[in-house]
């Protein structure tokens, strides 16, 4: 468990699970096997499981610490939750040592001051709550939870996200709404500053109200990308959307904007699902971009 120092901030990955996930041809409808020939690093076992030929998929939180705050960006899938969505069976009734991993980083649930959900999908909000005496209650009792105002509205609207992804309904019921009902939620808008050096930017496409988190401290910069990026393949092929992106054209535009920012700023990117080493830099190439993993990141 490596901690990365970025000016006034430190960042540590808190693992929930790291397993083979989707077949690349399923996750990316535009998938072309030739990408592995042109970019052989993408076929390494940390990104593509050699046995199943499925993409390695990490579920984790990014733990950001300052001298005053303990912040979690996204909270994985959560334990003991019924997940019957086709394709997401590996998230059903989990019993993972996420809180133990958090404790190994020196953090108790009551120490967390902020939880930022980049969007409200099944694998980004799970540890928002835990089951206590038959009820879903906030896992982090002293934290303010930050939801994008547009994202929250999108999933609560009869014409919103549940039309295309009805299986996310139980996620709202057990992982999103209990925090709202506990009055621990702050709704934020595009460009809002969370605290000095930490802000959010609207990143629509994957969902209508997805956000990415921007960190800036001195000469350091970083982006916590949510699902603007699912896999390193999308750095090389920003025109490839996942099958779960709601607005295909907007998702590509948002991804290109993020990659441009990251390359121009020499910023670290902290995606939500990349295999080891889970973080790295975006570099320009003659054709587009490439992903440069951060050496020795854990």
Q: What does the pLDDT look like over 195-204, one tens digit per residue?
A: 999 999 999 9
Q: What pLDDT, in 10s, does the model give residues 202-216?
A: 999 999 999 999 999
Question: What percent of the chain clears pLDDT 90, i.e. is strictly above it?
Answer: 93
Q: Is residue 275 a contact partner of residue 291, using CB atoms and an 8 Å limit?
A: no
Number of domains into which the chain is organized: 1
pLDDT bin (cut points 50, 70, 90) of residue 86 is confident
* CA 239 – CA 233 distance, rounded (Å): 10
Domain membership flag for residue 35: yes
Tokens in use for 165?
A: 């992804």
Say whether pLDDT at 15 is over 90: yes
Domain assignment present for residue 109? The answer is: yes
Write out the two tokens for 169. Answer: 């309904």
Q: Which residues make Cβ contacts (< 8 Å) with residue 278, sequence separation at least 6?
A: 13, 58, 60, 270, 271, 297, 298
Is-contact 168 122, C-beta < 8 A? Answer: yes
pLDDT for residue 274 is more than 60: yes
| Cβ proximity of 242 and 28 under 8 Å | yes
Question: What is the spatial distance between Cα 234 and Cα 231, in angstroms, rounded to a whole number?
Answer: 6
pLDDT, tens digit, for every residue of 115-141? 999 999 999 999 999 999 999 999 999
The answer to whether 136 touches 171, Cβ cutoff 8 Å, is no
Q: Is residue 247 part of a domain?
A: yes
pTM of the model: 0.96
- pLDDT, position 296: 58
Domain coverage including residue 195: 3-293
Give the pLDDT confidence of 43-72 residue by residue, as tens digits. Answer: 999 999 999 999 999 999 999 999 999 999
Q: What is the mean pLDDT of residues 144-151?
A: 98
> Which residue's entry shows tokens 């121009």?
264
Answer whether residue 16 is part of any domain: yes
Is 280 in contact with 269 (CB distance < 8 Å)? yes
SS3 195: strand
Task: Give just the sign of the alpha carbon dihedral 22, 27, 32, 34.
Answer: negative
Mean pLDDT, to the nearest integer, of 168-176?
96
298 pLDDT tier (thresholds 50, 70, 90): very low
DSSP structural state of residue 48: B
Distance, in Å, from the CA atom of 81 to the CA atom of 176, rounded to the nearest integer, reads 13
Cβ–Cβ under 8 Å, residues 151 and 120: yes
User: Has residue 298 been placed in a domain?
Assistant: no
Print the SS3 string covering 55-119. Answer: EEEEEEEEEEECCCCEEEECCCCCCCCCCCCCCCHHHCCCCCCHHHHHHHCCCCHHHCCEEECCC
Residue 85 has pLDDT above 90, yes or no: no
Phi/psi for 283 (5° steps) reads -115, 145
In a domain, 277, yes or no: yes
Nearest alpha-carbon partner for 41 in 286, 280, 259 = 280
Q: What is the CATH number of the domain that holds 151?
A: 3.60.15.10
Of the chain, the percentage scoring pLDDT greater than 70 comes to 99
pLDDT of res. 49: 97
User: How would you class 168 by CB atoms within 10 Å of its CB: exposed for 0-12, middle for 13-18, buried for 19 or more?
Assistant: buried
């Amino acid at each position: 468990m490596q901690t990365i120092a970025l000016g006034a901030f430190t960042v540590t990955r808190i693992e929930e699970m790291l397993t083979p996930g989707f077949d690349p041809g399923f996750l990316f409808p535009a998938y072309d096997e030739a990408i592995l020939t042109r970019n052989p690093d993408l076929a390494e076992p940390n990104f593509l499981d050699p046995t199943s030929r499925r993409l390695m998929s990490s579920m984790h939180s990014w733990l950001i610490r300052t001298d005053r705050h303990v912040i979690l960006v996204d909270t994985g899938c959560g334990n003991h939750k019924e997940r019957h969505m086709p394709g997401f069976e590996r998230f059903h009734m989990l019993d993972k040592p996420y809180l133990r991993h958090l404790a190994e980083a020196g953090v108790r649930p009551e120490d967390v001051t902020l939880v930022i959900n980049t969007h409200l999908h099944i694998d980004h909000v799970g540890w928002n709550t835990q089951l206590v005496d038959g009820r879903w209650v906030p896992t982090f009792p002293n934290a303010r939870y930050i939801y994008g105002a547009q994202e929250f509205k999108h999933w609560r609207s009869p014409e919103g996200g549940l039309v295309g992804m009805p299986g996310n309904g139980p996620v709202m019921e057990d992982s999103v709404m209990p925090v709202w009902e506990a009055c621990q939620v702050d709704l934020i808008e595009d460009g809002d500053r969370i605290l000095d050096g930490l802000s959010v930017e609207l990143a629509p496409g994957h969902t209508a109200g997805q956000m990415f988190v921007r960190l800036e401290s001195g000469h350091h910069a970083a982006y916590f990308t949510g699902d603007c990026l699912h896999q390193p393949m999308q750095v090389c092929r920003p025109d490839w959307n996942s099958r779960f992106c709601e607005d295909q054209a907007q998702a590509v535009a948002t991804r290109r904007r993020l990659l441009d920012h990251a390359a121009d700023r020499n910023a670290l990117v902290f995606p939500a699902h990349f295999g080891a080493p889970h973080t790295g830099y975006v570099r320009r190439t003659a054709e587009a971009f490439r992903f440069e993993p951060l050496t020795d990141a854990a």
